[in-house]
Amino acid sequence: MSNLKLLFTANQKYLVDFDEEFTDLKRIGRFKTNVLHNQKEGVPFQLVNHTCMLLKPTLHDLESLIERGPQIIIPKDIAWISYRLGASASEHIVEVGGGSGALTLALAQSLAPTGKLSVFEQSKKHLRILNKNLNRSPWKDSVVLINEEFTPDTPTLICDALFFDTPQPWNFISWAKKSLIPGGLLMAYLPTTNQVLEFINHLDGWQEIELVENIQRDWQADKSALRPKNVSLGHTGFIVNARNIDLH
Ligand SMILES: C[S@@+](CC[C@H](N)C(=O)[O-])C[C@H]1O[C@@H](n2cnc3c(N)ncnc32)[C@H](O)[C@@H]1O
Protein backbone atom coordinates (compact mmCIF):
# COMPACT_ATOMS: atom_id res chain seq x y z
CA MET A 1 0.00 0.00 0.00
CA SER A 2 1.19 3.51 -0.69
CA ASN A 3 1.99 5.54 2.38
CA LEU A 4 -0.89 7.96 1.89
CA LYS A 5 -2.02 10.83 4.10
CA LEU A 6 -4.81 13.31 3.65
CA LEU A 7 -3.62 16.92 3.44
CA PHE A 8 -6.52 19.15 4.42
CA THR A 9 -6.73 22.93 3.80
CA ALA A 10 -9.71 25.28 4.21
CA ASN A 11 -10.91 24.90 0.64
CA GLN A 12 -9.34 21.70 -0.65
CA LYS A 13 -8.16 18.26 0.31
CA TYR A 14 -5.43 16.14 -1.30
CA LEU A 15 -3.97 12.67 -0.98
CA VAL A 16 -0.21 12.83 -0.51
CA ASP A 17 2.04 9.83 -1.00
CA PHE A 18 4.78 10.05 1.65
CA ASP A 19 6.95 7.62 -0.34
CA GLU A 20 7.24 10.07 -3.28
CA GLU A 21 10.24 12.44 -3.27
CA PHE A 22 8.23 15.39 -4.59
CA THR A 23 4.58 16.39 -4.28
CA ASP A 24 2.83 18.68 -6.77
CA LEU A 25 -0.56 20.00 -5.67
CA LYS A 26 -2.97 22.27 -7.48
CA ARG A 27 -3.14 25.70 -5.73
CA ILE A 28 -0.21 24.84 -3.43
CA GLY A 29 2.51 23.94 -5.93
CA ARG A 30 5.50 21.60 -5.93
CA PHE A 31 7.54 20.85 -2.83
CA LYS A 32 9.77 18.13 -1.33
CA THR A 33 7.49 15.63 0.38
CA ASN A 34 9.83 15.30 3.35
CA VAL A 35 8.79 18.77 4.58
CA LEU A 36 5.60 17.00 5.72
CA HIS A 37 7.32 14.10 7.44
CA ASN A 38 7.72 15.83 10.82
CA GLN A 39 4.16 17.14 10.93
CA LYS A 40 1.82 15.42 13.39
CA GLU A 41 -1.62 14.23 12.30
CA GLY A 42 -4.37 16.54 13.57
CA VAL A 43 -2.07 19.51 14.28
CA PRO A 44 -2.30 22.61 12.00
CA PHE A 45 0.85 23.88 10.26
CA GLN A 46 1.83 26.35 7.52
CA LEU A 47 2.70 25.14 4.03
CA VAL A 48 3.42 27.76 1.33
CA ASN A 49 1.02 30.29 2.94
CA HIS A 50 -1.72 27.72 3.47
CA THR A 51 -2.82 26.48 6.87
CA CYS A 52 -2.91 22.72 6.54
CA MET A 53 -3.50 19.59 8.60
CA LEU A 54 -2.52 15.97 7.97
CA LEU A 55 -5.18 13.34 8.62
CA LYS A 56 -5.66 9.64 8.06
CA PRO A 57 -7.74 9.23 4.85
CA THR A 58 -11.22 7.74 5.34
CA LEU A 59 -13.14 5.66 2.79
CA HIS A 60 -15.02 8.84 1.86
CA ASP A 61 -11.74 10.70 1.21
CA LEU A 62 -10.50 7.85 -1.01
CA GLU A 63 -13.84 7.71 -2.84
CA SER A 64 -14.05 11.47 -3.39
CA LEU A 65 -10.48 11.62 -4.74
CA ILE A 66 -10.77 8.44 -6.82
CA GLU A 67 -9.30 8.37 -10.34
CA ARG A 68 -12.26 7.89 -12.68
CA GLY A 69 -12.42 5.69 -15.72
CA PRO A 70 -15.88 4.27 -16.41
CA GLN A 71 -18.96 5.57 -14.59
CA ILE A 72 -18.72 4.88 -10.87
CA ILE A 73 -21.35 3.81 -8.35
CA ILE A 74 -21.90 6.65 -5.87
CA PRO A 75 -22.10 6.52 -2.05
CA LYS A 76 -25.92 6.44 -1.71
CA ASP A 77 -25.98 3.24 -3.77
CA ILE A 78 -22.72 1.84 -2.38
CA ALA A 79 -24.13 2.02 1.15
CA TRP A 80 -27.23 0.02 0.23
CA ILE A 81 -25.30 -2.50 -1.88
CA SER A 82 -22.73 -3.15 0.83
CA TYR A 83 -25.42 -3.50 3.53
CA ARG A 84 -27.69 -5.72 1.43
CA LEU A 85 -24.85 -7.95 0.25
CA GLY A 86 -24.03 -8.46 3.92
CA ALA A 87 -20.37 -7.66 3.37
CA SER A 88 -18.46 -8.70 6.50
CA ALA A 89 -15.11 -10.15 7.43
CA SER A 90 -16.19 -13.79 7.08
CA GLU A 91 -17.58 -13.54 3.54
CA HIS A 92 -16.40 -14.21 0.02
CA ILE A 93 -18.03 -11.82 -2.46
CA VAL A 94 -17.62 -11.87 -6.24
CA GLU A 95 -17.91 -8.52 -8.06
CA VAL A 96 -18.21 -8.55 -11.85
CA GLY A 97 -17.29 -5.29 -13.61
CA GLY A 98 -14.83 -3.63 -11.22
CA GLY A 99 -14.55 -0.47 -13.37
CA SER A 100 -12.88 2.36 -11.45
CA GLY A 101 -13.20 0.49 -8.16
CA ALA A 102 -15.60 2.79 -6.30
CA LEU A 103 -17.65 -0.17 -5.08
CA THR A 104 -14.57 -2.38 -4.78
CA LEU A 105 -13.02 -0.03 -2.21
CA ALA A 106 -16.12 -0.01 -0.01
CA LEU A 107 -16.63 -3.78 -0.19
CA ALA A 108 -12.95 -4.37 0.52
CA GLN A 109 -13.17 -2.19 3.63
CA SER A 110 -16.12 -4.23 4.92
CA LEU A 111 -14.50 -7.58 4.07
CA ALA A 112 -11.02 -6.84 5.47
CA PRO A 113 -9.06 -8.38 7.03
CA THR A 114 -10.34 -11.96 6.81
CA GLY A 115 -13.01 -11.81 4.09
CA LYS A 116 -12.26 -11.88 0.38
CA LEU A 117 -13.44 -10.00 -2.71
CA SER A 118 -12.87 -11.51 -6.17
CA VAL A 119 -13.24 -8.85 -8.87
CA PHE A 120 -13.56 -9.50 -12.61
CA GLU A 121 -12.60 -6.66 -14.94
CA GLN A 122 -12.10 -7.39 -18.61
CA SER A 123 -10.60 -4.06 -19.70
CA LYS A 124 -6.85 -3.56 -19.20
CA LYS A 125 -7.37 0.20 -19.14
CA HIS A 126 -9.99 0.03 -16.40
CA LEU A 127 -7.96 -2.53 -14.48
CA ARG A 128 -5.02 -0.11 -14.34
CA ILE A 129 -7.27 2.57 -12.78
CA LEU A 130 -8.88 0.04 -10.43
CA ASN A 131 -5.47 -1.19 -9.34
CA LYS A 132 -4.23 2.35 -8.71
CA ASN A 133 -7.30 3.27 -6.63
CA LEU A 134 -7.11 0.03 -4.69
CA ASN A 135 -3.38 0.40 -4.02
CA ARG A 136 -4.05 3.71 -2.31
CA SER A 137 -6.26 1.96 0.25
CA PRO A 138 -5.31 -0.19 3.25
CA TRP A 139 -7.61 -3.02 2.06
CA LYS A 140 -5.80 -4.17 -1.08
CA ASP A 141 -4.86 -7.54 0.42
CA SER A 142 -8.52 -8.53 0.72
CA VAL A 143 -9.04 -8.23 -3.04
CA VAL A 144 -8.18 -10.58 -5.92
CA LEU A 145 -8.32 -8.82 -9.30
CA ILE A 146 -9.07 -11.04 -12.29
CA ASN A 147 -8.35 -9.43 -15.66
CA GLU A 148 -10.72 -11.64 -17.68
CA GLU A 149 -14.02 -11.35 -19.45
CA PHE A 150 -16.59 -12.97 -17.19
CA THR A 151 -18.77 -15.39 -19.21
CA PRO A 152 -21.38 -18.06 -18.43
CA ASP A 153 -18.49 -20.59 -18.81
CA THR A 154 -16.27 -18.94 -16.18
CA PRO A 155 -15.33 -21.68 -13.66
CA THR A 156 -17.61 -21.73 -10.63
CA LEU A 157 -16.41 -19.76 -7.57
CA ILE A 158 -18.16 -20.64 -4.33
CA CYS A 159 -19.27 -17.37 -2.75
CA ASP A 160 -21.66 -15.82 -0.22
CA ALA A 161 -22.77 -12.99 -2.47
CA LEU A 162 -22.44 -11.93 -6.06
CA PHE A 163 -22.66 -8.46 -7.62
CA PHE A 164 -22.94 -7.55 -11.32
CA ASP A 165 -22.34 -4.08 -12.78
CA THR A 166 -22.44 -5.31 -16.38
CA PRO A 167 -25.00 -4.68 -19.15
CA GLN A 168 -26.58 -8.16 -19.42
CA PRO A 169 -26.35 -9.91 -16.03
CA TRP A 170 -29.26 -12.25 -16.88
CA ASN A 171 -26.76 -14.27 -18.95
CA PHE A 172 -24.98 -15.17 -15.71
CA ILE A 173 -27.89 -16.35 -13.57
CA SER A 174 -27.18 -20.08 -14.11
CA TRP A 175 -23.58 -19.42 -13.08
CA ALA A 176 -24.85 -17.62 -9.98
CA LYS A 177 -27.04 -20.60 -9.04
CA LYS A 178 -24.00 -22.92 -9.15
CA SER A 179 -21.65 -20.55 -7.29
CA LEU A 180 -23.77 -19.06 -4.50
CA ILE A 181 -24.07 -20.88 -1.19
CA PRO A 182 -27.66 -21.70 -0.08
CA GLY A 183 -29.13 -18.37 1.06
CA GLY A 184 -26.46 -16.43 -0.87
CA LEU A 185 -27.38 -13.10 -2.43
CA LEU A 186 -27.37 -12.20 -6.13
CA MET A 187 -27.43 -8.50 -6.96
CA ALA A 188 -27.32 -6.42 -10.15
CA TYR A 189 -26.94 -2.69 -10.73
CA LEU A 190 -28.94 -1.63 -13.78
CA PRO A 191 -29.38 1.86 -15.27
CA THR A 192 -32.64 1.18 -17.19
CA THR A 193 -36.03 -0.36 -16.49
CA ASN A 194 -35.66 -2.44 -19.69
CA GLN A 195 -32.69 -4.20 -18.11
CA VAL A 196 -34.53 -4.58 -14.80
CA LEU A 197 -37.45 -6.30 -16.52
CA GLU A 198 -35.17 -8.65 -18.46
CA PHE A 199 -33.28 -9.53 -15.28
CA ILE A 200 -36.41 -10.17 -13.23
CA ASN A 201 -37.83 -12.31 -16.07
CA HIS A 202 -34.87 -14.64 -15.54
CA LEU A 203 -35.30 -14.92 -11.76
CA ASP A 204 -37.91 -17.69 -11.62
CA GLY A 205 -37.21 -19.95 -8.66
CA TRP A 206 -35.25 -17.27 -6.74
CA GLN A 207 -36.55 -15.97 -3.40
CA GLU A 208 -36.80 -12.50 -1.79
CA ILE A 209 -36.64 -10.58 -5.04
CA GLU A 210 -36.29 -6.85 -4.32
CA LEU A 211 -36.03 -3.80 -6.56
CA VAL A 212 -34.71 -0.51 -5.16
CA GLU A 213 -33.95 2.95 -6.47
CA ASN A 214 -32.26 5.15 -3.88
CA ILE A 215 -33.11 8.85 -3.99
CA GLN A 216 -30.88 11.18 -2.02
CA ARG A 217 -31.44 14.94 -1.85
CA ASP A 218 -28.37 17.00 -0.95
CA TRP A 219 -28.89 20.24 0.98
CA GLN A 220 -26.55 23.18 1.34
CA ALA A 221 -25.39 23.44 4.94
CA ASP A 222 -25.45 27.22 4.85
CA LYS A 223 -26.64 28.86 8.10
CA SER A 224 -28.21 31.80 6.25
CA ALA A 225 -29.90 29.74 3.52
CA LEU A 226 -30.64 26.24 4.65
CA ARG A 227 -32.30 24.57 1.64
CA PRO A 228 -31.82 21.85 -0.99
CA LYS A 229 -28.93 22.43 -3.40
CA ASN A 230 -29.90 24.00 -6.73
CA VAL A 231 -28.43 21.18 -8.74
CA SER A 232 -28.88 17.60 -7.68
CA LEU A 233 -28.07 14.28 -9.29
CA GLY A 234 -31.02 12.64 -11.00
CA HIS A 235 -31.24 8.96 -11.76
CA THR A 236 -28.25 6.68 -11.18
CA GLY A 237 -29.34 3.05 -11.25
CA PHE A 238 -31.77 0.40 -10.07
CA ILE A 239 -30.58 -2.28 -7.70
CA VAL A 240 -32.14 -5.72 -7.94
CA ASN A 241 -31.37 -8.55 -5.58
CA ALA A 242 -32.58 -12.10 -5.10
CA ARG A 243 -31.72 -14.92 -2.75
CA ASN A 244 -30.56 -18.39 -3.67
CA ILE A 245 -32.98 -20.53 -1.69
CA ASP A 246 -34.18 -23.78 -3.26
CA LEU A 247 -37.18 -25.11 -1.33
CA HIS A 248 -37.68 -28.19 -3.56
C1 LIG B 1 -19.86 0.78 -15.10
S2 LIG B 1 -18.33 -0.01 -14.93
C3 LIG B 1 -18.30 -0.52 -13.25
C4 LIG B 1 -18.07 0.60 -12.30
C5 LIG B 1 -17.80 0.14 -10.88
N6 LIG B 1 -18.93 -0.58 -10.32
C7 LIG B 1 -17.41 1.30 -9.97
O8 LIG B 1 -18.17 1.60 -9.02
O9 LIG B 1 -16.36 1.93 -10.18
C10 LIG B 1 -18.59 -1.57 -15.72
C11 LIG B 1 -17.30 -2.34 -15.90
O12 LIG B 1 -17.62 -3.68 -16.23
C13 LIG B 1 -16.64 -4.18 -17.11
N14 LIG B 1 -17.26 -5.36 -17.75
C15 LIG B 1 -18.37 -5.36 -18.53
N16 LIG B 1 -18.69 -6.62 -18.90
C17 LIG B 1 -17.75 -7.43 -18.31
C18 LIG B 1 -17.52 -8.85 -18.31
N19 LIG B 1 -18.34 -9.68 -18.95
N20 LIG B 1 -16.46 -9.34 -17.63
C21 LIG B 1 -15.63 -8.50 -16.94
N22 LIG B 1 -15.79 -7.15 -16.92
C23 LIG B 1 -16.84 -6.63 -17.58
C24 LIG B 1 -16.34 -2.99 -18.01
O25 LIG B 1 -15.06 -3.10 -18.62
C26 LIG B 1 -16.43 -1.82 -17.03
O27 LIG B 1 -15.16 -1.51 -16.51
User: How far is ligand 1, taken at its centre, from the CA of residue 192, in Å?
Assistant: 16
Tell me the pLDDT tens digit for each residue of 178-203.
999 999 999 999 999 999 999 999 99
What stretch(es) of the chain map to CATH 3.10.330.20?
A: 4-57
The C-alpha torsion from 227 through 74 and 12 to 55, rounded to 10°, is: 120
Atom 13, ligand 1: residue with shortest CA distance: 97
What stretch(es) of the chain map to CATH 3.40.50.150?
A: 62-243
User: How far is ligand 1, taken at its centre, from the CA of residue 36, in Å?
Assistant: 37
In this predicted structure, the answer to whether residue 1 has a pLDDT above a threshold of 80 is no
Pair 91, 115: CB distance under 8 Å:
yes
User: How far is ligand 1, taken at its centre, from the CA of residue 204, in Å?
Assistant: 25
In this predicted structure, the answer to whether residue 243 has a pLDDT above a threshold of 60 is yes
Atom 7, ligand 1: residue with shortest CA distance: 72
pLDDT for 3: 86
For domain 62-243, is the CATH number 3.40.50.150? yes
Q: What is the CATH number of domain 4-57?
A: 3.10.330.20
Ligand 1: residues within 6 Å at CB? 70-73, 96-97, 99-103, 120-123, 126, 149-150, 165-166
pLDDT for 248: 80
pLDDT for 2: 66
Q: Name the strands in the sheet holding 159-164, side by side, starting at the edge strand that comes first in the sequence.
A: 143-146, 116-120, 92-96, 159-164, 180-190, 238-243, 207-212
